[in-house]
Amino acid sequence: MITPKTAFMVPYRISKPYSLRSFLLICLIIGIFLHIRSYLFQVISSEAAYISNTVKASHPIEKLILQNHRKHQNFLNRQSKTPEEAIKAYRKRYQRDPPPGFSKWVRYALAQNSTVIDDYDMIEERISPFRSISSFDLNRRIKAWQESADAFETVKIRDGKFVDCGEQFRNSIEDIVDQLPDMDLLLNWLDEPRIVGYDHLRDSNKVTMEDFASKDAWEILSGKCHFSSQKKMKRDTTTKVKYVEDPKEALDICSHPEAWNQHGFFNSPSNFRATRNVIPFFSTTSMSTMADLLTPGLDYVDWHYIGDAKTVDNINYTDKKPQMYWKGWSTGSWFKETSWKRNHRVRFIEKFRNHSMFNIGFSKYVQCDGYCEKLEEVVGLVPIDPPTTGFEYKFAMDLDGNGYSGRYYRLLLSNCLVFKQTMFEQWHDDRLVPWVHYIPVSLGMEELESVLDYFANDEKGLRYGEQIAMGGKEWAKKSLRPIDMTIYTYRLLLEYAALFEGGAERRLD
């Protein structure tokens, strides 16, 4: 008699000797299939397809791509997965306990699928100079700024609520304001950074503002550097093409004395009102020799810049024209007869406007009162294109304006290969990897034609170009979201608030 229990077991009963062998053979075949499928997936994935530790680079650019991809993979692999791991990583990295509220921040970041948990060295670099200043002195400096400066707002947070705050910044942190300690912070309204800030000895009861608008600002910006006026004129005369290997080094004013006549901010900034005092002040950009605390540029994700459903790039990379596109306004400096050729946007257009690989030009002249007609005559004027015209081209150039270029994220989210030239440090510098997410361009641009030729004509370069374009797009979707800006700002404000708590009160929660 077959009971219910034995009836249930009958189909699985081994009744013949060869059934066990067949079963094991089937398991082995399935295991081999799953292993092969996993291996093939790794080989054909968008990143692993063009990066392998066993690949030998045949071109200097290929070497940079391989090196930086490995760097990015290490970056991803080392991010913490729990608050406990993040606290341990923080202590190891900075040799101190994290600020109050850190565990809550980690849980929030993980809940929002943040790709970055541990690597916030930009915050540390910017905030560390203020750790040696007492909270009493910091408050005096903030008050002195409020009494002397213009073009800023004071954000006040009390008991987890906004007391004073502009709409844009309020919207960016409204989700986490109840997690923040009480604080007052100074927020810049200008495109340009403000805190030259290398004079810690200045009277903290007084702030001295200096106006460098349309004046030579190189001397104050390079005041920390140790190079002579003769050295700054010296140029590299070697014929070997030098590609940008380290973007942070490329942004270092003290490493590039030749930059004095290559960027509009150095020789005739449009609106640069700064102080040498050390003030805890928040800006969206800064320079390597300056001390602004960096907060995200919220215009990046405003619809005016990021676009909408009508301005999405629907053209496949392989179907685009193999040329570089850039058209825009003549921002980046106040144009004067004695300095207009030093403007970085002018230099770019003057250098490549007649090159067959470039479709570039100024579509409007501004910040050139009394000189605009002369500029139009000498440099030229191109028609204003629809916003999506640039998507027809494989290569998209992005250049600084007066501050950061608001089109950068829109370009990264397109199907174009993005080339980036800048002298401004920004909040996202820790997470965007050159030669993996974008192509860095030096201020001198001596290498640009060679780089363009590689991605337009080299057999491997053609493939790498598409893979970097797509890799940059996918990474931007994951790590440059509005919520990522909130996560970064949340952590920044915890570190900032801790400056006023005192080192003895640092604790874990």
User: Lowest-confidence range among 53-62, 200-209, 336-345?
Assistant: 53-62
> By residue range, what is the domain housing residue 330?
301-481
Residues 389 and 325: beta-carbon distance below 8 Å: yes
Q: What is the mean pLDDT of residues 37-55?
A: 43
Residue 19 has what pLDDT? 60
Residue 231 has pLDDT above 80, yes or no: no
CA distance 81 to 47: 22
| Higher pLDDT, residue 35 or 62 | 62
Residue 412 has pLDDT above 90, yes or no: yes
Q: Mean of the per-residue pLDDT values for the chain? A: 89
347 inside domain:
yes
User: Lowest-confidence range among 38-52, 111-125, 181-195?
Assistant: 38-52
Q: What is the DSSP string of 155-219?
A: EEEETTEEEE--HHHHHHHTTTGGGSPSEEEEEE-SSS--EEEEETTS-TT---EEE-TTS--HH
Residue 54 has what pLDDT? 43
500 inside domain:
no
CA distance 22 to 5: 25
Q: What is the mean pLDDT of residues 9-15?
A: 35
Residues 216 and 272: beta-carbon distance below 8 Å: no
Residue 39 has what pLDDT? 39
Give me the CATH number covering residue 325. 3.40.50.2000
256 inside domain:
no
Nearest to 387 by CA among 293, 312, 280, 480: 312
Residue 369 has what pLDDT? 84
CA distance 346 to 336: 12
450-488 pLDDT, tens digit each:
999 999 999 999 999 999 999 999 999 999 999 999 999
Contacts of 88 (CB under 8 A, 6+ apart): 80
Residue 309 has what pLDDT? 87
Nearest to 452 by CA among 325, 324, 318, 315: 324
Q: What is the mean pLDDT of residues 231-254?
A: 80
Residues 428 and 299: beta-carbon distance below 8 Å: no
374 inside domain:
yes
Residue 100 has pLDDT above 80, yes or no: yes
User: Lowest-confidence range among 190-199, 477-486, 498-507?
Assistant: 498-507
Q: What percent of the chain has pLDDT over 70?
A: 85
CA distances to 324, 326, 329, 364 from 380, rounded to whole Å, are: 18, 14, 12, 10
| Higher pLDDT, residue 15 or 485 | 485
Q: What is the mean pLDDT of residues 256-271?
A: 96
268 inside domain:
no
Residue 503 has what pLDDT? 42
400 inside domain:
yes
* Sign (positive or negative) of CA dihedral 385, 391, 396, 398: positive
For residue 39, the tally of other CB atoms under 10 A from its CB is 10
Confidence class for position 24, pLDDT limits 50, 70, 90: low
Residue 37 has what pLDDT? 45
Q: What percent of the chain has pLDDT over 90?
A: 80
29 inside domain:
no
Contacts of 292 (CB under 8 A, 6+ apart): 126, 188, 193, 194, 195, 197, 281, 282, 283, 285, 286
Q: What is the mean pLDDT of residues 235-259?
A: 88
Residue 499 has what pLDDT? 97
Residue 43 has what pLDDT? 36
347-391 pLDDT, tens digit each:
999 999 999 999 999 999 999 988 899 999 999 999 999 999 999
The token duo for 152 is 């800023």
28 inside domain:
no
Give the chain's domain count.
Answer: 1
